[in-house]
Structure 1
Amino acid sequence: MRQLGAGLRALLVLTLVVGVAYPLLLTAVAQVVLPDHADGSLVASRDGLVGSELLGQSFTRPVTEDGEPVTDAVGVPVTEPDPAYFQNRPSAAGGGYDPLSSSASNYGPENPDLVALVEERRALVAALDGVDPEQVPPDALLASGSGLDPHISPAYAHLQAARVARERGLAPEQVRRLVDDLTQGRSLGFLGEPRVNVLLLNLALDEQAGTPDEADSE
């Protein structure tokens, strides 16, 4: 009984220290030192909360036929990439950037399913941006390890610039300059690769040129 009592007391103390006090302390420190990061690096626009800098998301529009939205076999609306916005890299997460199913495909480089998927993505990007399939950069063909990466390479962003400029009636140089302004360098100067956050890029595009609907109304 003495051993049982000592074990229960140890369990209670460790639960209070490790399970309650320690997380509360870290939360308090994070809120003081890095409040934005602690809250999830959320991004807001004039229309309210639009996402997080840490999570990719889709920029799509409904597919319509004779003015009516097209649905699939189970009644879910069918969407397609919105050409007025920069597109993120592919996602292996279910539902498209679903944070509840963060994952990679785990396919090997010679897996026929992966090879077919890469070729399908290559053809889609080439058709959307009107470029030669050989010009499509690797990050437009492969999902990240998490499936939720919010960044693309500067090369992929510049590939899309002409299409976005055309859809919004802007000069291509203006859009490319925006890409360059929002390109982030390597972390600490040597880790990773230069990258562009797609959500921040699209928000800056909307603020600079107005949303596509507003541009059409003008």
Structure 2
Amino acid sequence: MNLRTPMRTVWAAFRALLVLTVVTGVVYPLAVTGVAQSAFGHRADGSLVQADGRDVGSSLIGQTWNDANGDPDPRWFQPRPSHSGYDPTATGSSQLGASDPTLLATVEETRAAVAAFNGVPESAVPADAVTGSSSAIDPHVSPAYAEIQVARVAAANGLSPEQVERLVADHTEDRDLGFLGEERVNVLELNLALREVVG
């Protein structure tokens, strides 16, 4: 039996493995990273938001705005519910179907709590105020949800409703490309703008 043929095959396979490892494991990732950093540097770095010279979050990931007791703080705009607590390592939906009794009970309970917290009738509470996003980390709320929070936020911060409404209007993002998705408000960016006004 000629051992040269099998050894030649093994050696060829080994060389192919080395080349593919270098190309797909080193060259390609470096090229993609280089393009991303040069063309979309802010996004490639996580779309970090700064305040007072330090990173305070990402415009792509929601976060809670609670007081020292862990309850929603009335001074700040609140995000939509998140079953993960806005943990970016635990993204994904709750997996509860639209007719699941647990989900329906949670929605009704949340609707009552949101209405009471904001001093509005339950009929005024929009859907995104009582349901989480499919990712569980959506940083946005609808303009309707931001709107029902205006009076509470204004009162808690000693501002006029008109001042707070202007902030919401200034931080309402249009649909992508003018027709994709819905108008939305980034809660982190809105609250940081609110903090600037409050001082």
Give the TM-score normalised by the residue count of structure 1. Answer: 0.86
Instruction: Output the CA distance in 2 between the equivalents of 1:161 and 1:6.
Output: 68
Aligned to 2:79: 88
The alignment yields a C-alpha RMSD, in angstroms, of: 0.9
Give the TM-score normalised by the residue count of structure 2. Answer: 0.94
Question: What SS does structure 2 have at the residue aligned with 1:126?
Answer: helix
Q: Give 1:92 shift.
A: 2.2
Cα deviations across residues 56-106 of structure 1 (Å, max 9, x unaligned)? 00000122xxxxxxxxxxxxxxx100000000001122xx10011111011
CA contact (8 A) 1:92 1:103 kept: no
Question: What SS does structure 1 have at the residue aligned with 2:136?
Answer: coil
Aligned to 1:181: 170
Aligned to 1:27: 33
Instruction: Output the CA distance in 2 between the equivalents of 1:92 and 1:80.
Output: 15
Q: How does 1:155-174 map to 2 (within 5 A)?
A: 155-174=144-163
Instruction: Output the CA distance in 1 between the equivalents of 2:24 and 2:18.
Output: 10
> Does structure 1 residue 131 correspond to structure 2 residue 137?
no
Instruction: Output the CA distance in 2 between the equivalents of 1:163 and 1:133.
Output: 15
Larger radius of gyration: 2
Question: What SS does structure 2 have at the residue aligned with 1:54?
Answer: coil
Q: Give 1:47 shift.
A: 5.6
Alignment CA distance shift 1:47-1:169 (3 Å) = farther
User: Taking CA–CA contacts closer than 8 Å with sequence separation of 6 or more, which of the two structures ends up with the larger relative contact order?
Assistant: 2
Gapped regions of structure 1 (runs ≥ 5): 64-78, 211-218
Cα deviations across residues 106-140 of structure 1 (Å, max 9, x unaligned)? 11110001001101111110111011111100001
Aligned to 1:215: none
Instruction: Output the CA distance in 1 between the equivalents of 2:76 and 2:61.
Output: 17
Q: How does 1:66-145 map to 2 (within 5 A)?
A: 79-93=70-84, 96-145=85-134
Letter of the 1:33 counterpart: A
Aligned to 1:69: none
Q: Give 1:150 shift.
A: 0.2
Q: How does 1:16-55 map to 2 (within 5 A)?
A: 16-46=22-52, 48-55=54-61
Aligned residues: 193
Q: Identity across aligned pairs (percent)? A: 56
Letter of the 2:72 counterpart: P
Aligned to 1:149: 138
